[in-house]
Structure 1
């Protein structure tokens, strides 16, 4: 696959450190840090087809124009024209792409584990940290599904072997945006106290889920933070000025900071826990700030959709579709393009602490338990 990164010589000084590192890593990541398996949890930013198997669920992407740039040009349930960020992280970690959706292989889980095949994706579009968010498979239910996998492992591995396998595996979580959207729909002008209370509730629930995963064997956590959702085409389309919606950028920023403190504090009490927080917020903000330097031309309008900024209607077979998809930040009203996901995966896997901290995903994968 050809690189989507432009010539480094053309980059402005402001973002050279990021892009020079990214250009190097694009050539260097192959063959680097490996983990035996990846377990993925989260929402539509990580879903690779679980929602395809949920009757009546509307948060689906298993139809055109989704997947137009995926191998064989087929829709898979990814909210993208091609791969999503989890796919690219999987590639950097030595896998073909994201592990398969849990609901597509639920009856084969124990055989996959016994053969050493690399993990499962539990993510479900529309889900959130809070059980009250969305009508899909909540994060709590995703973890229960993982517990099923964990119990099936011991049919082929001893308890000690299962624990060793999981301690070396990477647990990726990409969630929180839907919780913030749901809160904003109820209160679009929260005061300082209300925002603090919401962030505290969200963080407390997140902590509970992280501990739950730790208690069933997870040790390496790769957290993807919440991007500036106030700048996506959907929210811009509802703003009379067409600009970003400030509170929908402030809330993710506050939650992301809370998650940083949360993860640090957990490592002080949970023996052997290690983590990296990949900042989709920083990656997207950099693209919006200087799109041309990163190879993008359009950061406001979605490639596929309808209405203002193509952000008022979803990407469906009869929707408007752009032709120069590599130059768009947004694929549909909420989700990034294959090109944007590629850049994010690169920065989070092997970039500087601006994009993944306290270590990047490559360093996390190489950490010994």
Structure 2
């Protein structure tokens, strides 16, 4: 996650000039794939790999979209930063493909991919179903969307974080993390977030 944040925030860095967002995603996928293979080489057989959140919808990225828009002074910008989400989706898709291949290739490997991108987008697009009221603004942060700085003090936090998707610049609130954890463990309330099996099913496998 942090690699994507750094990449899109620092447009003047050498890696931005050298690699397109798609190529950068592929580099990160290869690094994660190598990490999984290295764990397997040390006799680890059960592995959970979480994808990356829809960072283009996070408060700090929404602020960047607002600042870069010629219409920014006229009000809020609807939607997320597509360029960021497309790069994240490329990463998640390629990583899951590699995980499927690893499970076939390596004897006894049980690697699970958890699609947190899909889960967060469900909360963002259907907030009422989860008693969420605000899908844009950080519970604890400063400036537009709470995206100008992190959470320096709990004194500035919102009154009810259970009604928000985002806690700070790019991290979900505890209630969203709890929904993610429940879905990863049992497939409820969101089914098929973790594939090919849930984390609970993974732990029940004898190796």
1:340 aligns with 2:176: yes
Partner of 1:277, secondary structure, is: strand
Q: Does 1:361 align with 2:185?
A: no
Who is 2:2 aligned against?
A: 178
- Following superposition, the deviation at residue 274 of structure 1 comes to 0.2
The match for 1:314 is: 150
Structure of greater Rg: 1
After TM superposition, the structure 1 = structure 2 runs for residues 198-347 of structure 1, keeping only pairs within 5 Å, are 198-240=24-66, 241=77, 243-317=79-153, 320-347=156-183
Which sections of structure 1, spanning at least 5 residues, go unmatched? 1-176
Shift in Å at residue 319 of structure 1?
5.6
Instruction: State the distance in 2 between where 1:185 and 1:233 align.
Output: 13
* Bigger proportion of residues as helix: 2
Matches within 5 A, 1:14-163: none
User: Deviation of residue 195 (structure 1)?
Assistant: 3.5
1:320 positional shift = 2.0
Confirm or deny: 8 A CA contact 2:162 2:174 kept in the other structure: yes
1:145-185 alpha-carbon deviations (Å, 9 max, x no partner): xxxxxxxxxxxxxxxxxxxxxxxxxxxxxxxx112222223
DSSP 3-state at the match of 1:238: helix
Question: 1:195-246 CA deviation, whole Å, 9 max, x = no partner?
Answer: 4422222222112111111111211011111010000111111222264111
TM-score, normalised to structure 1, is 0.49
Give the Cα–Cα distance (whole angstroms) in 1 for the partners of residues 154 and 29 of structure 2.
Answer: 40
Does the 8 Å contact 1:306/1:313 carry over to 2?
yes
**Gaps in structure 2 of 5+ consecutive residues:** 67-76
- Quote the offset at 1:187 in angstroms: 4.7
**When the two structures are superposed, what TM-score results if normalisation uses the length of structure 2?**
0.85
How far apart in 2 are the matches of 1:250 and 1:186? 18
8 A Cα contact 2:56 2:81, kept in partner: yes
- Counterparts in 2 of 1:333 and 1:259: CA distance versus 1, 3 Å: same
The RMSD of aligned alpha carbons is: 2.0
For residues 311 and 186 of structure 1, what CA distance do their matches in structure 2 show?
A: 16
Query: Do the aligned residues in 1 keep the contact of 2:25 with 2:88 (CA within 8 Å)?
Result: no
Summarize the Cα distance change of 1:216–1:355 in structure 2 as closer, same or farther, 3 Å threshold.
Answer: same
Aligned to 2:71: none
8 Å contact from structure 1 (residues 306, 319) kept in 2:
no
Residues paired across the two proteins, number? 190
Give the equivalent residue in structure 2 for 1:197: 23
